[in-house]
Amino acid sequence: MAVELARAHNYDEKKAYTAGVFHDICKELPYKKTMELMKKHFKNKLKNPGYLFHAYLGMVFARDKLLIKDEEILNSIYHHVLGTDDGTLSKIIYISDKLDPSRGYDSSYLIKLSLKNLDLGFKQTRYESNRYNKEKN
């Protein structure tokens, strides 16, 4: 979906593909390894919710192991869980992650909206995600 959104908004498809492929690269790390790396790289973020850790560590992995230097790609990986960066690529990756068809809910309206208007799609996707999380908790 990241490449499709990039294409629809005349954004660099290669960057979108790269960030889309690697944004969840650290999601399946074992807990012990995750905590070890968090203590090394993000000690100040250990009080944040654990579901954010893979995004922080994914950015470090992309930068240090994959040697990705592009700040837009790195920022989009770092911010993809909460959508806390307003760069074009960050919006594309956030939307792609939240509206992934494998999540099991009908996101067709938000996908169409995002393809037409990235900013509005981003805002609405964040709103829906926050509403869902509040209802869930």
Q: What average pLDDT does range 114-118 have in this prediction?
A: 98
One-letter amino acid of 116: K
Query: Which residue ranges form the domains of the chain, and what is each CATH number?
Result: 2-136 (1.10.3210.10)
Nearest residue to 79 via CA among 45, 105, 56: 56
Given a cut of 70, whether residue 94 has pLDDT beyond it is yes
Model pTM?
Answer: 0.92
Q: Write down the mean pLDDT value for the chain.
A: 95
The CA distance from 50 to 30, in Å, is 12
pLDDT (tens digit, 9 = 90+) per residue, 15-30? 999 999 999 999 999 9
One-letter amino acid of 53: F
Higher pLDDT: 107 or 64? It is 64
pLDDT (tens digit, 9 = 90+) per residue, 68-86? 999 999 999 999 999 999 9
Assigned token pair, 27? 């999601």
Place of tokens 């968090």: 38
CA angle 123, 108, 1 (to 5 degrees): 75
**pLDDT band per the 50, 70, 90 thresholds, residue 137:** low
